[in-house]
Structure formats: structure tokens, C-alpha cells
Structure 1
Amino acid sequence: MKKIILSLVTIAFLVGCNEGAKPKEAATSEKTEMLAPIADSVLETATIYEANIRQYSEEGTFNEFTKDIPALKEMGIDIIWVMPIYPISSTKSKGSLGSYYAITDYTKVNPEFGTLKDFQKLVKTAHDNGIYVVLDWVANHTGWDHVWIKEHPDYYTQDKDGNIVDPLNPETGESWGWTDVADLNYDNMNMRKEMTEDMLYWVKEQNIDGFRCDVADNVPTDFWAEAIPELRAEKPIFMLAESAKAELVPVGFDMLYNWPGLHTMNEIAKGEKPASAWNQLKAEQDSTYTKGTIFMNFITNHDENSWNGTVFERLGDGTEAFAALEYMTPGMPLIYSGQEYDMNKALLFFEKDTINKTKGKFYSIYEKLNVLKETHTALNGGKNAAAYEPIATSDDTKILAFKRSKAGDTVYYIANLTSESIDAEVRLIGDFTNYMTGEKIKLGPAKFALKPWQYMILVK
């Protein structure tokens, strides 16, 4: 078949960010409508925000974060995932403040962040702004000061001498190094019951909208199969697993971590894999996962930022191209606290730190990308996601091109995922707008130049 070769002819004027579309409006203080329970339709266009309460502000409190919820709404956030809010164990604690994930009581709040009333205000403010709130849930282990340690030692995994142990790698039997926490014993049915009841407390009494479940694949799958229906009997909730394991979807999880996507982006950025590795990954995921599986797409999160480097350290000059790819690929994009402010430091994990909330380059980029995702059916990423189709190029090792389409709407992504300028050919023809710049582009039979890490999002 004869190749159709793409060329670029730009017109020297800019258009609005997306044909008149505007950021989502924040609610006024007078708004009191009840937010409808989360539904599958919400997940098609949603963006999720990970809130690190301790590091979000100098004060590190619920109230300081709550003040910015209307701004998050305007930026285009639909779901807030709040990192663990519970009291932190001091026994075997790491650092001076300890880890969010070493919990002493599943039904109380960490006084470091404020009071239960303060958290209730956070939830109400989010709901008033049309944003859902998801709590981080740590079902695999507790801190060493949890009441169960003394009252129910049988709730925990023990060695041959009856000593409670920290979590072990099931393949090697060796410690993961999480010495500040004690491993829970899911052979104990009473513990399972109490765990579910504690989760129900936040759904029934505090009106939260779901859970992000820490190391979800370290917890027996049959626990989730029992617990999630009980939670959903109370109201529809959203369930996110910190896992890429396909078997967690049939038991009730809505969304999985796209760890393979993150690792592939890192490898492409370092030149360790070609651009074609992305389309190869998508093909593998389509053949492996059940239709309707949602992936959370991200270029950073609390673990990546604190332990594996900032986005700029890992992705370099390709950071913006990969941030756009996060939105363009099927699934739900994640923004981590500070990411919208061009954060270029690794936040401390066990000590107090603070993000710098000064708007730079990326704040407006995320605003535009959120509008794009909300207003284009072609970017639906939920259980009825838009189609993903690779587009052939003159050099698939360097150029990534694909289209998303649904219900008559189509959006294209073309990127040079290398540090070298290249002359490119892509099988695409027509008149488009480069969404991020507003430039009008006519695609026809001629070669065109792509600068290092240059990307385009093309819309009709």
C-alpha cells in the first residue's frame, strides 16, 4: 500500500486551549447538593490526585490542604487519594515522624494532621466541589503500637518461637526491610472481620468514596473477594489496588497500578528501550487483562519521588512528552502533590518536608490536559475506554504515534522519544490543531522535522 507521508505547515496564530473549553468550576460555599455516589461514567474522564498531607504545606494539616481543594477542582481533579491519615506507631519507628503506613488505629486520625472534624471538613469541601475522596488503606500490616499487638497477637504472623514478625517476601522468606510494621495473619477469620468493619466505618460514618489499597497483592485475594462486596452493599465505592496483578479485577478492584507503563517510560527515556516498546506494552496488556480493566497511569507518586528520583531525574527533557502520554494512553492519569508545581526534589518520607507551591510550567500543562481528557470522548479511559490504535512511522524505534477514538471523536499523539532531532514520516493526512500550542497543522505528503522529545496532540 502506498505510504501517506505527513508534513507540517504551521499558521502563525494561537487558538484557545481547546475550542472554548474551560477548566472545571469550583463550588461556592453556598453549594450544599449531595454528591452522587461514584459511578463508572465518572471513571471515563477522571483525573486522580495523590494528597501527601504532611508535605503539602508548611503546617502539614488537613485544613491547609482543604483550602486548596477549590483550586484542584479548577485544575480538573475529580478524585483525591489521601495518603494514610491514621495515628502512627512510635515503636520501631523510622525517622522522627515515622511512616504513614505504620498504623496504630484504623479508625482514628493522626493528630499531626488535625482532628476528625478537620478531616470531615476536607471530605465535605471535596464533595461540595464535585470531587470524590479515596482513603489509603493498609491491610497488609500495622504498626507495632496497634492495640491488636497486645490484645490479639494471633492476628499477626509469628515465627516458630511465637514472635510476631515484620512482612516477609513469600518467595524468599526474607524480610522486605519494613521493620517498622508487623505482618497481619489472614488465616485468622476474626482479624479479617475486624479489618472489614474498620473499612466500613469510613464508608458509613465518614462518607468516603473508596480506598487505595497498599500492597494489595500481598493480601489474600479471597479477603478482597469477601470484603469489597460488603463495602459496596453500603454504597458504590471506587477501589484502587497498588498492584498490576490481573486477578484483582474480578474480585472487585476498579483500577490497577500501571507499573509496567512507568518502567517502560523510564527505560525509553534512558535510551534502554525503543519508542516501539510502548505500543508493544499496550498490545501485551490488551491480551493479558480483562476488558474493562482500568490502569492508573503515572510518571511519579510518593514512592517514586522519595526513593527513585524526581520526574526530571528519571525522564529528563522528555518529562513533558511522557506527562502528555500519561493522559493520552487508556486509563486514569495521576498527579502527585507538588507535581503540578514542577517539583524537582525528592520529598523526605519519615521527616517533615514541604512542597514549593509556585506555579511554573506544568500547572497550565495539567490544566490543558485535564480539559482535553474531560471534553474528548476519544480519551475515555474507564471500563468502556476509547480504542487505542498504533500508527506506522518511518522509524518506530524513535517515533511513537497512535490514535484514540470513540463515538466519532479522534485524538492523535505523535512524539519523538529521543534526544536527537529526526526527519519523520507518519501515515496520517488532514487538517488538525496542535492542542497544546493552538497551532493549525496541515498534514500531507512530505517529511517533517521533530525536535528532541517534541510531541504533538492533534485534534480536529
Structure 2
Amino acid sequence: MKKMFFVLVVLISLSSFAQIQRVEPPNWWTGFKDQDLQLLVYGKEIGKTVPEINYNGVSIEEVHKADSPNYLFIDLSISEEAKPGKFDIRFKKSGGKTEVFKYELKARQKPAEDYVGFDSSDVIYLITPDRFANGDPSNDINSSLLEKTIDRNNDYARHGGDIRGIINHLDYIDTLGFTAIWSSPLLINDMKNASYHGYAMTDFYKVDPRFGTLAEYKELADKAGERGIKLIMDQVANHVGIEHWWMKDLPFTDWINYQERYLNGEKTVYSSHQRTTNQDMYASEGDKKRMTEGWFVDTMPDLNQENPYMANYLTQNSIWWIETLGLGGIRQDTYPYPDKEFMSDWAGAIMTEYPNFNIVGEEWSYNPLLIRYWQEGAPNKDGYDSNLKSTMDFAMQANIVAALNEEENWGSGLEKIYAGLANDFAYASPSDIMIFPDNHDMSRIYTQLGESIPKAKMALAYILMLPRIPQIYYGTEILMNDTAKPGDHGLIRTDFPGGWKNDSVNAFTGKNLSKVQKEMQTYLKLILNYRKNSEAIQQGETIHFAPENGVYLLSRSSGNEKVVLILNKNEEPVNLDLERFEELGLGGQNLKNLLTGEKMIWEGSLALPKMGAYIFTTKL
């Protein structure tokens, strides 16, 4: 009886001691400029322990207890003397009991300078992975997760697309001429419904098993890299999904915004979405607070980046993924919503470690002044420097659609893109801004342009010729649309035909595509592959001429290469007098029509037989 009692006491003692569930980041590397690392440790009553490390070059600088007894934050210093390897972190509790966690420092796979980010030489292919291709049907349903169904007939359910599906079609992406892939988030979204989009993360270090494994994510990065294709990771610093693991045991009383209301079951405060409060010199403190601290929806808690432990956590997570995947860039979601001082520090920390890297921030604004504000080097009156190299050009996207849809009158029609591009004087670096015809949150460009193929072709040609970084959404090359219900997110993110076994149409092979779909695919492929080797388009001088009589001309030039784009909105044939463009220095030169292969001499007038885009190059 005494023996049984002794065993029971031992079991109770062991069960009450720390059971380490997480140490994040799960590993780190030697050789960073910033030698500081802060570990988040989670386990039952881990806060009552004292951590010790005995490893050359690694020292504990400070230990921080959280408001919850189940967390510890350990500040480490990793000096130049530290070598790659595994070492023990010993967690001692009063009474002599110790729990040991083995932590690993890895050797970096390549120098920091070799992490080269996307730039104006690239064209980015944006993919919603759940809707692109199902390469591994065995991972479609995971019974351990909250959303357990798959239904391709439901636009807001999971459809089964995954990482393997992207890997399987890298040749298609490469052959089209894309040089970078931006995938919507692939991290786990263990939410009850509509979890397919990826923007409600429930673990920042775990790949969603319905998309695949970390090994497959690495394989995607490696195999894309072998083709010269950069991988851009979509990250979210503003919010998480309500089912995130830490929501059941928040470390601090200010880990998320409006935390007390959440814990008391009260209705939260929603963001006002007044993004101009970031710049507005007259904005009230109340408006600023509601903008940055308010939640998007009840299922997406808003993170408090003013908490220094949260700030460290998010920054280190980004660096961990850059090293783990060898990334070629980050796209940061909802850029103006988190604390803007944190966002400056976050981007600055990354760019300090990786000087040739790139990050693009999403600022959905049609005001060029707001787009300018977020780009590094902007002369902001408040002195704010974002450290952000690239922003998104929603203003020019809207101008392009208006230019092609509106009648040609003074101040409308093609005047919209002429005046829009004239705003480039305000930007610190126009060629580092990202331009696009559409994306995963807005109507397809084909729908926006009234399903006009000539207008769609003009939009794409113009976007690919601009001094910008172009991004194209998957399916644009085959005229995918959401015309049945414009703006509906589920419909915008339609399945790519051929990505599922037994699809009657296969855009990867061309099977059963319509004639116009094949023509658009060929059209885009031709321009993309020319652009891939065109110094003039990638970084050349830009000259454009004010639109006249429904015709607009833009030129890009570098050295002996000159490329001319002409947009013609006239449905009747037009003879364009070339004398007006004499300053281009093309008089008497031989040029090739990039789209038809025909040769011509630049003199006199140029026949434009129909509405559309015309591209001419001195490269014969």
C-alpha cells in the first residue's frame, strides 16, 4: 500500500511539472548580423522554471516571465564563436527537478547577400493554392482539423489544391515566362469554415497539412529556384485566426488588441478602415486607435505589435521562413493596419540582414500620396521611413480600367493612364512598385473590362511595359472571370481548369480551351518571354506621349534596344502619323512587330487596322 502511494505521489509530481509543448522559433542559425534571439517557450508552469544553457557562443542574457505561468521568453545572445550544432536548454524547477529541451543552431545555406528579392526584371504569378491544382488528393481532408469537408461546388469550401499541385506545374509557369511565384498563405488555418484562403493563420510555424508538408514547401522553393523562379511568401502581421493555439492561453494581458473585451465575451471593436489616419496630421487619437487596433471580423483577433514580445516573435518568424525556404521576397498583407512603427522596424530588420531582398506591402489605396508614403525614401512630413522597398499600385490599376472603359474625352479615357503615370515624379522609386490587372481580392480583369478581349490585351501589354514590377493572377492567361457575380471572392478564386483529375478542360495542356483562350495564353506567353530578356522594359528609360484621337504611345529604351507600345481604342482603321514621335530617334529604322513577327520601317505613317495593343521592337 505504501509503495502504491509513493508511485502515485511521483506521478502527480511529474504531471504538475513543465511539459514543454513549444519552443519558437523551432531552430535558429549562426552568423546573423543581429546576434540576439528571443525564444518563446510554452509548457505547463514553465514560468516557474529557471533555464540554463551551456554551449560555447550562446548565452542567456535575460529571462522574462509572462502574465500566464505557462510561458517564458528567453533572450539569447549568439556570438560569432557559436558553431552549428544541438545543445540542451535545461529548465530547472525548485526542488531540483529538471526538464531538458534540445535546441539546434544550423549553418546558413548561403550568404545573406545571395537572397535576391524580386524586382522590375521579374513578372510574378499570383496563385490561390487551394484553387490551382490538386497534386495530392490524399491530403484533401484531415480529420484532426475543424473543417473536415471538401466541396468543389461550394466557392467558399476547400477544393483540394496544394503545394504538390504547384510543383507539378512549375514547367507551365516557367514556359509562360513568369520569373516569380507569389502564393497566398500556405500556413495552417485550422478554422471551422472558409479556411481555404489562408489569411487566418492558427500557427505561424506550421504548414497546413491540407496543402502539404514543410518538406514539400522546401521542395517547391528549391525546384522553382532551379528554374530561376523566385518564391514570394505571403505573410500576415496584423491578425490571426481565432483558433490560433495561443488564443486559449494568451501570454500577456495585451497580446491582442481589445483583449479584455474578448476574454469577457463582449462584442469587439472593429477597425474603421480609415487608413489615412497613418498620415493625417489632423487625425484624432481615437480614430488612429480604432484603425490600427480594431479587428477585421470576430474570427480574426488583431495582434498588438506594441507588445515587444509580439514584435520580436513576428520579426523572427519572418526571418525564419526566409532562411528555411530561401525566399525571394515577402508580400505583407494589410500593411497599414498594424502599428506602423513596428512595421518600419520589422522591414528594417529584414532588409538589414538581407540587403538585396525585397518586401511588398499591401496598401489598397487609389491615392498616389498614400502609396508614396509607405515606400522607403518618401519625403514624409512626419519623418516616417517605412524601410519598405515596394508598395502596390492600386491607383494605376484603377486608372488602367477607367482608361479602357471610358469614352475618349478630355480628362477621361486614355488620359487616365497618361496622367496616372505622370504621378511617378512623386515616388522615391517607381520601378520598385508592384502593378497588376487584378488579384485575389478584386474582380478579374476580364470582368472589369466587360469581357472585351482587345481591352484585356491592351491592359496586359501596358502593365508589362510599365516601369514597375508586374504581377498577374493565375487564370488571367485564359480569360478567367467572375462575371456571373462580380466581386464575389469565391468566384474570383475559381479552380484552374486541368488542376483536378478528370477536368474536362485542361489549361495546362490546352485540352478543350476555346480559341480565344488559347490566343490569350499565346499572347501573354509571347510578351512575357520577350520581357524576360529585355533590358529596355526591365530598367530602361520611359517616354510617353499624350493620347490623341484614341491612340496612346509609350516607349522603353536601353542602349540599342527600343520597345514601343501603342494602344489604339479605335474600332476603325487608323493611320498614325509618326512625325510626332521623332524624338524617339526611330526614323528610318527597321522594327519588328512583336505580336505578329512582321518587319516594318519606322517612317511616314503606321497603319493600325483595329482596336488593340501594338508592340514594336528594334530587336529583330
TM-score, with length taken from structure 2: 0.61
Could you tell me which residue of structure 1 aligns to residue 394 of structure 2?
A: 259
* Counterpart AA for 2:496: I
Could you tell me which residue of structure 2 aligns to residue 390 of structure 1?
A: 544
1:263-282 counterparts in 2 under 5 A?
A: 263-271=398-406, 273-282=412-421
Q: What is the CA-CA distance between 1:305 and the residue it aligns to?
A: 3.7
**Total equivalences in the alignment:** 415
SS in structure 2 at match of 1:142: coil
Could you tell me which residue of structure 1 aligns to residue 592 of structure 2?
A: 433
Deviates more, 1:103-112 or 1:410-419: 410-419
Could you tell me which residue of structure 2 aligns to residue 154 of structure 1?
A: 254
1:237-248 counterparts in 2 under 5 A?
A: 237-243=357-363, 245-248=371-374
Could you tell me which residue of structure 2 aligns to residue 182 of structure 1?
A: 301
Q: Deviations over 1:163-215 (max 9, x none)?
A: 55454424665878644312222322221111112112212233323210111
Greater relative CO (CA pairs within 8 A, separation 6+)? 1
Deviates more, 1:69-78 or 1:416-425: 416-425
1:223-234 counterparts in 2 under 5 A?
A: 223-234=342-353
Could you tell me which residue of structure 2 aligns to residue 27 of structure 1?
A: none
Distance (whole Å) between structure 2 residues aligned to residue 366 and residue 166 of structure 1? 41
Distance (whole Å) between structure 1 residues aligned to residue 537 and residue 128 of structure 2? 28
For residues 291 and 231 of structure 1, do their structure 2 counterparts lie closer, same or farther at Cα, with a shift above 3 Å needed? closer
SS in structure 2 at match of 1:262: helix
* Counterpart AA for 1:376: S
* Counterpart AA for 2:477: E
Counterpart of 1:331 (choices 468, 486, 493) is 468
* Counterpart AA for 1:118: E
Q: What is the CA-CA distance between 1:137 and the residue it aligns to?
A: 0.5
For residues 144 and 394 of structure 1, do their structure 2 counterparts lie closer, same or farther at Cα, with a shift above 3 Å needed? closer
Distance (whole Å) between structure 1 residues aligned to residue 521 and residue 448 of structure 2? 15
Identity of aligned residues (%): 20
Could you tell me which residue of structure 1 aligns to residue 126 of structure 2?
A: 50
Q: What is the CA-CA distance between 1:71 and the residue it aligns to?
A: 2.6
Deviates more, 1:123-132 or 1:266-275: 266-275
* Counterpart AA for 1:342: L
* Counterpart AA for 1:291: S
1:363-442 counterparts in 2 under 5 A?
A: 363-380=521-538, 385-391=539-545, 394-395=548-549, 398-418=550-570, 422-426=574-578, 427-428=580-581, 429-430=587-588, 431-442=590-601
Q: What is the CA-CA distance between 1:343 and the residue it aligns to?
A: 2.0
Is 1:166–1:180's contact at 8 Å kept on the other side of the alignment? Answer: no
* Counterpart AA for 1:240: V
SS in structure 1 at match of 2:316: helix
Deviates more, 1:398-407 or 1:228-237: 228-237
Distance (whole Å) between structure 2 residues aligned to residue 122 and residue 348 of structure 1? 29
Q: Which runs of 5+ in 1 are unaligned?
A: 1-32
Could you tell me which residue of structure 2 aligns to residue 67 of structure 1?
A: 168
Distance (whole Å) between structure 1 residues aligned to residue 258 and residue 209 of structure 2? 31
Is 2:418–2:546's contact at 8 Å kept on the other side of the alignment? Answer: no
SS in structure 1 at match of 2:320: helix
1:434-453 counterparts in 2 under 5 A?
A: 434-446=593-605, 448-452=607-611
Q: What is the CA-CA distance between 1:281 and the residue it aligns to?
A: 1.0
Could you tell me which residue of structure 2 aligns to residue 139 of structure 1?
A: 237
Is 2:594 the counterpart of 1:456? no
* Counterpart AA for 1:327: L
Distance (whole Å) between structure 1 residues aligned to residue 476 and residue 330 of structure 2? 22
* Counterpart AA for 1:209: G
For residues 242 and 166 of structure 1, do their structure 2 counterparts lie closer, same or farther at Cα, with a shift above 3 Å needed? same
SS in structure 2 at match of 1:267: helix
Distance (whole Å) between structure 2 residues aligned to residue 53 and residue 451 of structure 1? 38
Q: What is the CA-CA distance between 1:393 and the residue it aligns to?
A: 5.8
* Counterpart AA for 1:255: S
Is 1:311–1:319's contact at 8 Å kept on the other side of the alignment? Answer: no
SS in structure 2 at match of 1:413: strand
Is 2:331 the counterpart of 1:212? yes
SS in structure 1 at match of 2:442: helix
* Counterpart AA for 1:333: P
SS in structure 1 at match of 2:553: strand
Is 1:342–1:361's contact at 8 Å kept on the other side of the alignment? Answer: no
Distance (whole Å) between structure 2 residues aligned to residue 264 and residue 177 of structure 1? 28
Counterpart of 2:114 (choices 19, 37, 40) is 37
Q: What is the CA-CA distance between 1:140 and the residue it aligns to?
A: 1.2
For residues 353 and 442 of structure 1, do their structure 2 counterparts lie closer, same or farther at Cα, with a shift above 3 Å needed? closer
Distance (whole Å) between structure 2 residues aligned to residue 156 and residue 142 of structure 1? 10
Deviates more, 1:424-433 or 1:407-416: 424-433
Q: What is the CA-CA distance between 1:327 and the residue it aligns to?
A: 0.8
Distance (whole Å) between structure 2 residues aligned to residue 373 and residue 178 of structure 1? 41
For residues 391 and 202 of structure 1, do their structure 2 counterparts lie closer, same or farther at Cα, with a shift above 3 Å needed? same
SS in structure 2 at match of 1:304: coil
Distance (whole Å) between structure 1 residues aligned to residue 119 and residue 207 of structure 2? 28
For residues 239 and 132 of structure 1, do their structure 2 counterparts lie closer, same or farther at Cα, with a shift above 3 Å needed? same
Q: What is the CA-CA distance between 1:233 and the residue it aligns to?
A: 4.7
Distance (whole Å) between structure 1 residues aligned to residue 523 and residue 608 of structure 2? 23
Could you tell me which residue of structure 2 aligns to residue 202 of structure 1?
A: 321
* Counterpart AA for 1:267: A
Distance (whole Å) between structure 2 residues aligned to residue 46 and residue 314 of structure 1? 27
Is 2:495 the counterpart of 1:354? yes
TM-score, with length taken from structure 1: 0.81
Q: What is the CA-CA distance between 1:113 and the residue it aligns to?
A: 0.8
Is 2:120–2:432's contact at 8 Å kept on the other side of the alignment? Answer: no
1:63-102 counterparts in 2 under 5 A?
A: 63-90=164-191, 93=193, 95=194, 97=195, 99-102=197-200
Q: Deviations over 1:226-257 (max 9, x none)?
A: 12233245444321111262233223323221
Distance (whole Å) between structure 2 residues aligned to residue 71 and residue 416 of structure 1? 31
Distance (whole Å) between structure 1 residues aligned to residue 227 and residue 196 of structure 2? 32
Distance (whole Å) between structure 1 residues aligned to residue 413 and residue 494 of structure 2? 37
Q: Deviations over 1:103-140 (max 9, x none)?
A: 11111111221122221211111122221111101111
Could you tell me which residue of structure 1 aligns to residue 477 of structure 2?
A: 340
Q: What is the CA-CA distance between 1:314 and the residue it aligns to?
A: 6.5
Rg bigger for which structure?
A: 2
Pairwise CA RMSD of aligned residues?
A: 3.0
For residues 314 and 156 of structure 1, do their structure 2 counterparts lie closer, same or farther at Cα, with a shift above 3 Å needed? farther
Q: What is the CA-CA distance between 1:321 and the residue it aligns to?
A: 1.1
Could you tell me which residue of structure 1 aligns to residue 99 of structure 2?
A: none
Counterpart of 1:116 (choices 201, 214, 220) is 214
SS in structure 2 at match of 1:216: coil
Q: What is the CA-CA distance between 1:319 and the residue it aligns to?
A: 0.3
Q: Deviations over 1:381-436 (max 9, x none)?
A: xxxx32211135643xx211121122332111111135565554342343321111
